[in-house]
């Protein structure tokens, strides 16, 4: 199954989204969370993101969802640090974090492949709310 | 002139010290146009660097020292400056891999690799009100000086002066990258925290080389 990793400056944000997404997918999808620094400040940590990607990857690829600022740069750095072995198998979705995470998790839970999960996550930014 | 491994370690110590001295100041600058954490972020990062470097074997080369430094910043800083300075030091380490001594051309390569790394990572250019506004002029001043056969200590001194001017210039422009870009025009009138920390690091390098 395609894995998902959620990245934010705030641990609470990713834990909250994890809860929402797990509830909708019955806990079937491997979802990793990376948020905050090791010493409990707001921030992102490329090495944590890298570890979470490794943790949720079962060979089918991992879609990474990020919020703002350093989340994007840290996630890009994490993917570089993973090296060739993961090339093309891990991508950052150009999508809003909450909506993208829910859409991607549900899509992964029905067994869709990497490209489809990524696409569905990115389509979440077109979602009209009103 | 040769820069030894010991000189490199002295520069790192100096940066650790200067960042600590300016922790509050950098955080205040970030409070005006960001999220009030730049000094705290970097101080945490460089404290971790200091710790980490004590665990490296005596025989570690300069490239590995710089790469380890970068990697440590990446995993401890937290803010945007983490991946940015992290990438800068890691790229700098790559271009002097295996070396235990550096010469003028290596210093130019280090600055060039660091600057390119930051630009690639953050997709910013000079004039966007970021750390690039001090690093790019410093790199140019260093390169020009060395090409005109000016000795390394003076070339670094000129680089530090150029970084200072670049830093001061960030006061007059509005932010187009990073958190401060949310403020747009309202960021005018404030120094960029990252341009200030970058100046402090370049100045530390110059000071150590000029004193030794
Ligand atoms: N895309 C970017 N490219 C270059 N430098 C940047 C970029 N984004 C932010 N910066 C630099 O990082 C500094 C802020 O660092 P810091 O406060 O540690 O991170 P954060 O903004 O995530 O809180 C800014 O003052 C700016 O110089
Ligand atoms: Mg900040």
Do B113 and B85 touch, CB atoms closer than 8 A? no
The mean pLDDT value for B94-104 works out to 98
**Number of domains observed in the structure of chain B:** 1
Q: Which residues contact A86 (CB under 8 A, 6 or more apart)?
A: A53, A57, A79
The tens digit of pLDDT for each residue in A111-121 reads 999 999 999 99
In this complex, do B74 and A69 lie within 8 Å of one another by their Cβ atoms? no
Q: Which residue in A39, A68, A69 has the most chain B C-beta atoms within 10 A of its own C-beta, making it the best mutation to test that interface?
A: A69
Do B197 and B130 touch, CB atoms closer than 8 A? no
Q: Is the pLDDT of residue A69 over 90?
A: no
The mean pLDDT value for A28-34 works out to 97
What is residue A59's predicted lDDT score, i.e. its pLDDT?
A: 95
Q: Which residues contact A119 (CB under 8 A, 6 or more apart)?
A: none
Longest alpha-carbon distance in chain B: 50
* Domain A3-126: assigned CATH number: 3.40.50.510
| ipTM score assigned to the predicted complex | 0.92
Domain ranges, ordered by start, for chain A: 3-126
Q: Which residues contact A108 (CB under 8 A, 6 or more apart)?
A: A1, A2, A3, A4, A25, A29, A63, A117
The mean pLDDT value for B50-76 works out to 97
Residue A4 C-alpha, separation from nearest chain B C-alpha, in angstroms: 21
What is residue B74's predicted lDDT score, i.e. its pLDDT?
A: 97
E strand map for chain B: 3-4, 101-102
Q: Is the pLDDT of residue B31 over 90?
A: yes
What is residue A85's predicted lDDT score, i.e. its pLDDT?
A: 94
* Predicted confidence band of residue B72 (pLDDT cuts 50, 70, 90): very high
Q: Is the pLDDT of residue A55 over 90?
A: yes
Closest CB to B82: pick one of A42, A74, A76: A74
Q: Is the pLDDT of residue B89 over 90?
A: yes
CA of B200 to the centre of ligand 2 (A): 17
Ligand 1: lining residues by beta carbon, under 6 Å: A 69-70; B 30, 34-35, 37-38, 41, 79-81, 84, 118, 122, 124, 130-132, 177-179, 192-195
Which of 40-59 (A) contact B at CB < 8 A?
41-48
Do B27 and B184 touch, CB atoms closer than 8 A? no
Q: Is the pLDDT of residue A73 over 90?
A: yes
Residues of A assigned a catalytic role:
9
Average pLDDT of chain A, as a whole number? 96
CATH of the domain at B159: 1.25.40.340
Residue A69 C-alpha, separation from nearest chain B C-alpha, in angstroms: 6
Contact residues, chain B, for A38 at CB < 8 Å:
75-76
CA of A74 to the centre of ligand 2 (A): 14
Average pLDDT of chain B, as a whole number? 97
What is residue B174's predicted lDDT score, i.e. its pLDDT?
A: 97
The mean pLDDT value for B151-162 works out to 98
CA of B177 to the centre of ligand 1 (A): 8
Domain containing B121 equals: 3-211
* Predicted confidence band of residue B212 (pLDDT cuts 50, 70, 90): confident
Q: Which residue in A9, A41, A52, A94 has the most chain B C-beta atoms within 10 A of its own C-beta, making it the best mutation to test that interface?
A: A41
| Mutual angle of helices B62-76 and B38-54, in 10-degree steps | 140
């Amino acid at each position: 199954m395609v894995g998902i990793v959620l990245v934010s400056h705030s641990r609470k944000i990713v834990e909250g989204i994890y809860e929402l997404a797990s509830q909708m997918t019955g806990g079937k999808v491997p979802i990793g969370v990376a948020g905050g620094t090791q010493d409990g400040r707001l921030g992102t940590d490329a090495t944590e993101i890298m570890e979470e990607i490794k943790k949720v990857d079962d060979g089918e690829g991992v879609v990474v969802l990020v919020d703002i600022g350093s989340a994007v740069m840290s996630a890009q750095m994490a993917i570089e640090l993973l090296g060739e072995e993961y090339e093309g198998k891990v991508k950052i979705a150009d999508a809003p974090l909450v909506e993208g995470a829910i859409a991607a998790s549900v899509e992964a839970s029905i067994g869709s492949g990497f490209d489809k999960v990524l696409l569905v996550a990115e389509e979440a930014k077109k979602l009209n709310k009103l | 002139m040769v820069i030894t491994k010991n000189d490199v370690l002295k520069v790192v110590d100096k940066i650790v010290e200067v960042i600590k001295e300016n922790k509050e100041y950098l955080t205040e600058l970030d409070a005006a146009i960001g999220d009030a954490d730049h000094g705290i972020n970097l101080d945490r990062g460089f404290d971790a660097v200091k710790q980490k470097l004590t665990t490296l074997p005596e025989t570690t080369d300069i490239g590995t020292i710089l790469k380890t430094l970068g990697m440590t910043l990446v995993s401890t800083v937290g803010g945007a400056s983490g991946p940015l300075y992290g990438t800068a030091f890691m790229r700098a380490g790559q271009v002097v891999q295996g070396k235990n001594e550096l010469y003028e051309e290596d210093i130019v390569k280090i600055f060039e690799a660091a600057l390119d790394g930051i630009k690639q990572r953050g997709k910013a250019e000079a004039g966007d009100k970021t750390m690039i506004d001090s690093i790019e002029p410093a790199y140019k001043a260093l390169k020009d000086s060395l090409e005109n056969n000016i000795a390394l200590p003076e070339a670094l001194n000129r680089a530090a002066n150029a970084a200072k001017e670049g830093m001061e210039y960030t006061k007059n422009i509005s932010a187009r990258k990073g958190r401060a870009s949310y403020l747009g025009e309202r960021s005018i009138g404030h120094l960029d925290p990252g341009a200030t920390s970058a100046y402090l690091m370049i100045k530390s390098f110059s000071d150590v080389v000029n004193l030794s």
